[in-house]
Amino acid sequence: MSPLPPRPKPDPKAPRQSLPLLDPELREGSPAEVALGFTEEQARAEALRCLRCQKPTCIDACPLNIDIKRFILRMVEGDYAGAHDVISEQSPFPGVCGRVCQHELFCEDACIVGRRWDPVAIGSLERFAADHARLRMRELAGGDPACPSGPKVALVGSGPASLIAAFDLARKNYRVTIFEALHELGGVLAYGIPGFRLPREILNEEIARLRSLGVQFVTSFVVGKSATLDELFDEGFAAVFIGTGAGLPYLLNIPGENLIGVYTANEFLTRLNLMEAYRFPERPTPVHVGRQTVVVGGGNSAMDAARWARRMGSETTILYRRGRAELKARLEEIEHAEDEGIRFEFLAAPVALCGNHDGFVTSIECIRMELGDPDESGRRSPVPVPGSTFRIPAETVVAAIGQAPNPTLQKATPGLHTRRGKIVIDEQGQTSLHRVFAGGDVVRGGSTVILAMKDGRAAATAIHRALSPNGGNHHESRP
């Protein structure tokens, strides 16, 4: 056998590669993906920027502990399938996470290269490995599904928390069923995050891999209404995980909120993403987007709603009570929103919505803010500047100011402890009820995809421990 060619030396000083983007003119009216992914040449060049640290801090910083150093090394060698295999040891969702995870808060924040230069673009490399493996993975997913034979576990909700729990439990031979209230799978990944950030086929292909592990899905099934938790246990489920997310939007609580043309981001995005209102009347669900839209908020939902409004041809303003540095959305989405011509009105908050005789919203009255002392989150709190009100014309207003857990299941489940609407869990991820676990946004409030996955993984470990007679060793041999 001929010896392997020597690996090229790391080159951290080389400039970080930028993601090729869809031309802004082609984005109108369309969910076409904006970030196009690295070319092979870019992926190789970016992979070479990794220092291959002795103690890679990026791995500890990844809530799923993906072996980032090893997968990037595979990419340096041109072994993209191998890179994908390394990621898949920990996560079956590299196409999703490579696109929507806030890498700048986790692995890329910890990247040693970032101490002197720009950090390695770990997220874009993860995405490249995933996209490269698509064909091979489609073939694998098309084979006969596995038939697990262990105890039955019910997962409520099909967001990232439940999806990773299903992956971990199915690999340990549990018979997993996911119950989802909506007709589509994926939670926020399907109804909240637009296709121009996360194409549906990428999400569906990665979910299909769970089917091949034997995971069952039941859609249009609201636990707490279609069946209670007790009824699931009566059906033979040995444990339940609640990953129902935070789908109850906060309202602005200002005069005029009932005017026509005022939406919560949740409704606005569900209409456009899940019901494809951008294709109305070909699709039955409409959405009213006027000539001017104001979106209130500074997180991912606000960027997504504003970018959809822009795609629907509306002049769009994001109204945020703090400054640009405090925006909570992914950096990439903020930059894309700016590229797309969205205007930002910083340090301003809404005080009233004004309408016409027909009940349609026509403008939004705002007040200037200044930043005062830090609040409990450590961020400086916005304080209104007296006498500084002003108006912005708006035929559509979208409130994107955060979400709380939907209370349906909690209300139908006596003895399930909650605090301020969030389900309370112990350090094992267990709720106040025996063999009922919870994680993700229903526990944390609005959070991130990767932290929801971290919780789902922790709960799967705890469920395995709870259901194993020997406290966590494999039970494959159980009858």
DSSP string, 362-410: EEEEEEEEEEEEE-TTSSEEEEEEEEEEEEEE-SEEEE-S-EE---HHH
Nearest-approach distance from CB 344 to ligand FAD, in angstroms: 18
Which residue's CB is nearer to ligand FAD, number 244 or number 316?
Answer: 244
Which residue's CB is nearer to ligand FAD, number 161 or number 364?
Answer: 161
Task: Give the interface with ligand FAD as residue ranges (CB under 6 A).
Answer: 100-102, 156-162, 179-182, 187-188, 192-193, 222-224, 243-245, 247, 269, 300-301, 304, 330, 406, 408-409, 440-442, 447-450, 452
Nearest-approach distance from CB 211 to ligand FAD, in angstroms: 17
Which residue's CB is nearer to ligand FAD, number 192 or number 195?
Answer: 192
* Backbone φ, ψ for residue 4 (5° rounding): -65, 145
Which residue's CB is nearer to ligand FAD, number 12 or number 245?
Answer: 245
Nearest-approach distance from CB 76 to ligand FAD, in angstroms: 27
Nearest-approach distance from CB 405 to ligand FAD, in angstroms: 8
Nearest to 209 by CA among 39, 64, 94, 54: 94
The identity of residue 311, as a single letter, is R
Nearest-approach distance from CB 398 to ligand FAD, in angstroms: 11
Please state, in angstroms and rounded to a whole number, the distance separating the CA atoms of residues 219 and 370. Answer: 46
Planar angle of CA 241, 242, 243, nearest 5 degrees: 110
Nearest-approach distance from CB 336 to ligand FAD, in angstroms: 11
Which residue's CB is nearer to ligand FAD, number 270 or number 363?
Answer: 270
Angle between the 80-88 and 68-76 helix axes, to the nearest 10 degrees? 170
Please state, in angstroms and rounded to a whole number, the distance separating the CA atoms of residues 455 and 457. Answer: 5
Q: What share of the chain is helix, strand, coil (3-state, %, to 5)?
A: 35, 20, 45
Please state, in angstroms and rounded to a whole number, the distance separating the CA atoms of residues 395 and 264. Answer: 14
Nearest-approach distance from CB 224 to ligand FAD, in angstroms: 5
Which residue's CB is nearer to ligand FAD, number 162 or number 173?
Answer: 162
Which residue's CB is nearer to ligand FAD, number 126 or number 362?
Answer: 126
Counted residue by residue, the chain has a size of 479
The identity of residue 194, as a single letter, is P
